[in-house]
Amino acid sequence: MRPSTHLSTLITLLPVVWGRVKYLGVAIPGIDFGCEIDGSCPLQPFAKFPLIEFDGGDGEGQMKHFVKDSGFNTFRLPTSWQFLLNEQLGGKLDPVKSEQYDKLIQACLNTGAYCMIDLHNFARYNGGIVGQGGPPDELFVDLWSQLARKYANEDKVMFGLMNEPHDLDIALWAKTCQKAVTGIRKAGATSQIILLPGTNFASAETFVSSGSANALGAITNPDGSKNGLVLDLHKYLDINNSGKYVECTNDNVEGFRTIATWLRKNKREAIISETGASIDPSCMKRFCTQNDFIAKNSDVLIGFVGWGAGSFPHEYVLTLTPLWTGHGYVDNKLMQECIIEYGEECGEECGEEYGEEYGEECGEEYGEEYGEECGEAFDDLDTYESLANNDCQRQAFLQQCLQGKAI
């Protein structure tokens, strides 16, 4: 049976308070070390491949730990245009470099997690903006088409078109991204998520005001649908949104509220593919507040990825690299208190009372007939607020309604 008008109105006007995100994880950087915001990414001496066999961080061991012990299901795997083509712009995927990167991809896939390919070039190649005086769109599309063919049968590979575009014409950038989306889909990768990043370093706070949301929101698959096209947001909490400073000055709630409202109104979704903080007391509070807001708006903010682990040393200001004790990995305080909980399933108490069977007390009041009292409650949004006083109750109630069991 179709949802009632009351339910449709509710979901349009109110965020669904799930309290958990669908995609949660951490970045495994290293290849991107040395990349600058002008799109230069010298391979030597900076790149530090995050696999032990290449003398970098233990990316494979970290990912296994994060899945098994931390409940993560998503990893962002930065690389660079220069690395994949061995600095031969316009060429084919370098057989040696692309095979090395594939080892990282396969290590990720072997955990059962989703694996984001992250092209860490800031919409540039050695100073030139893609499609705007730098490399022509055709070379960008060719790179992504090659990657799409390589991973066309891997449903859990995500294509992150570009890390943090900035200082460009957003209308032209959206056209570039449209060409890349078309190329990826025509190359056979029809089921994978494609992440669409906006200007101003993909800032969540300015995604709407910069025109990024409207421009990128118009991008479609070749069949005209928008399935699998997810907006790509970034946000840090320091004074200039760079992630370079120890102190956190903003919890970003209002910035995320603005983009969440736009996403809900336009029936779109976004993933925060990069966010992070230090373990300074100012960050422990504000980073947790930010992530709590994201999780409570997970109907549209469907995931977030912390920055970063991989080849980062423990001294790095934003490190999420777990500590090896000799017997296993241990997550740091920021990871434990501000990230891990948002990927876990609804707890035992919630499951017992509001699990798959949707317990007796709720069932009687909001059961299959979807009685008068429930309908009246949806007429009054204030009444809805009083229906449940915790995330688990709201989650269970709305899941039942959406599945038609309470209508």
- Give catalytic residues, as residue numbers: 164, 274
Buried b (16+ CB within 10 A) or exposed e, 269-288: bbbbbbbbbbbbebbbebbb
Q: Does residue 45 have a cis bond before it (omega within 30 degrees)?
A: yes
Is residue 109 a contact partner of residue 103, using CB atoms and an 8 Å limit?
Answer: no
Token readout for 139 is 């070379």
**Cis bond before residue 39 (omega within 30° of 0):** no
Question: Tokens 């429930």 correspond to what residue?
Answer: 374
Phi, psi (degrees; rounded to nearest 5) at 116: -90, 120
Closest C-alpha to 141, from 122, 124, 161, 158? 161
Retrieve residue 318's tokens: 């934003």
CA distance 197 to 138: 19
For residue 212, give the H/E element and its range: helix 212-217
- Residue 26 contacts residue 306 (beta carbons within 8 Å): yes
Which single residue is written with the structure tokens 């373990």? 279
